[in-house]
């Protein structure tokens, strides 16, 4: 289940309201591209600025739209409050999500023991497959491989980790320790799969899902010559999609190709003019037609 291409979906807004029509179109495009699964309300989905009601609605909508397509749904249900994470995770299970993605608690910076107890408490309360999400650039804390191993040994429903630490040594250590690892960095997917990662949770696949699917399938099959060619084709675009804080650039990119309004919620704001030009050039170089 935790191998292949998973798209970290944006949450589309129109006049500051969740745009279900655009969301449905987006998910249909993911299905048509052969994406393995979708991840609603993660970092890319602007989860910090969604109300609890909106958060639940986005997950329910994603599950409903993915039903019958063969595409998996991993609901983003992490929080820096353990009780809140348990509540959101229980809702995702009740809604029919296949699994959940749980980010390290942010701002309060727990110790490794605190991380262990946080994730164990959620795993014990809600029987659903859990993917840990290690992203120190967002959370200020890095979960060690030893802590992840301890969790997977004691909690059978903790089954994988999304690795966005940007550290290939950490990836190698995790894979060597027997953990299932998904890349959390588009520009590092092929290098990470070369050392044993099983796929990616991708931002770029919001806009180029077919290309990401092809890259991951080639890498998974050991055809790294072709995977590298696709990696280099996408590399400049992947870097441009992180030229400012995610999801600012991906929403701007989707607006440029006519697939989204580009609306964000404060404190995120629109891409700067200079970076907008750089992103536009990266889209053109990748062969994407602009609206």
The whole-number pLDDT of residue 143 equals 97
- Tell which residue, 34, 31, 36, has the closest CA to residue 4: 36
Give the Å distances, CA to CA, from 175 to 68, 86, 137, 149, 180.
32, 28, 21, 11, 7
**283 Cβ partners below 8 Å, 6+ apart?**
237, 240, 253, 256, 257, 290
Q: Rounded distance, CA 203 to CA 209, Å?
A: 9
Residue positions counted in the chain:
291
The whole-number pLDDT of residue 1 equals 75
Q: What is the pTM of this model?
A: 0.96
Ordered by where they begin, the domains of the chain are: 4-221 (3.20.20.70)
Backbone phi, psi, residue 69, to 5°: -95, -15
- Tell which residue, 78, 82, 85, 125, has the closest CA to residue 102: 78
Q: Rounded distance, CA 19 to CA 61, Å?
A: 11
Give the Å distances, CA to CA, from 212 to 54, 59, 128, 203, 208.
29, 23, 27, 10, 6
**207 Cβ partners below 8 Å, 6+ apart?**
250, 253, 254, 257, 259, 288
Q: Rounded distance, CA 15 to CA 185, Å?
A: 30
Q: Could you give the residue numbers annotated as active site?
A: 133, 162
Tokens 């979906």 correspond to 9
Tens digit of pLDDT per residue, the chain (291 long)?
799 999 999 999 999 999 999 999 999 999 999 999 999 999 999 999 999 999 999 999 999 999 999 999 999 999 999 999 999 999 999 999 999 999 999 999 999 999 999 999 999 999 999 999 999 999 999 999 999 999 999 999 999 999 999 999 999 999 999 999 999 999 999 999 999 999 999 999 999 999 999 999 999 999 999 999 999 999 999 999 999 999 999 999 999 999 999 999 999 999 999 999 999 999 999 999 998
**266 Cβ partners below 8 Å, 6+ apart?**
49
Q: Give residue 17's Cα distance to chain centre.
A: 22
């Amino acid at each position: 289940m935790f191998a292949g291409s998973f798209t970290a979906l944006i949450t589309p807004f129109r006049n500051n309201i969740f745009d279900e029509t655009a969301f449905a179109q987006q998910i249909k495009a993911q299905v048509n591209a052969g994406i393995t699964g979708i991840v609603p309300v993660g970092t890319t989905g602007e989860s910090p600025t969604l109300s609890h009601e909106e958060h639940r609605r986005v997950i329910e909508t994603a599950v409903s739209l993915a039903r019958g397509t063969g595409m998996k749904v991993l609901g983003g249900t992490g929080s820096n409050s353990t009780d809140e994470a348990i509540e959101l995770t229980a809702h995702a299970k009740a809604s029919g999500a296949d699994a959940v993605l749980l980010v390290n608690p942010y701002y309060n910076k727990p110790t490794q023991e605190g991380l262990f107890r946080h994730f164990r408490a959620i795993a014990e309360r809600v029987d659903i497959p859990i993917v840990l999400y290690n992203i120190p650039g967002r959370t200020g804390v890095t979960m060690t491989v030893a802590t992840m191993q301890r969790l997977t040994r004691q909690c059978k429903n903790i089954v994988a980790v999304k690795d966005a630490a940007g550290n290939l040594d950490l990836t190698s250590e995790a894979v060597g320790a027997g953990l299932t690892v998904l890349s959390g960095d588009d520009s590092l997917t092929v290098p990470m799969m070369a050392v044993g990662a099983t796929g990616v949770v991708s931002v770029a696949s919001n806009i180029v899902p077919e290309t990401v699917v092809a890259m991951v399938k080639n890498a998974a099959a050991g055809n790294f010559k072709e995977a590298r060619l696709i990696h280099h084709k996408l590399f400049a675009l992947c870097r441009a999609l992180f030229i400012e804080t995610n999801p600012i650039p991906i929403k701007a990119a989707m607006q440029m190709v006519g697939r989204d309004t580009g609306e964000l919620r404060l404190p995120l704001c629109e891409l700067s003019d200079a970076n907008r030009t750089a992103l536009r050039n990266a889209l053109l170089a990748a062969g994407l037609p602009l609206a």
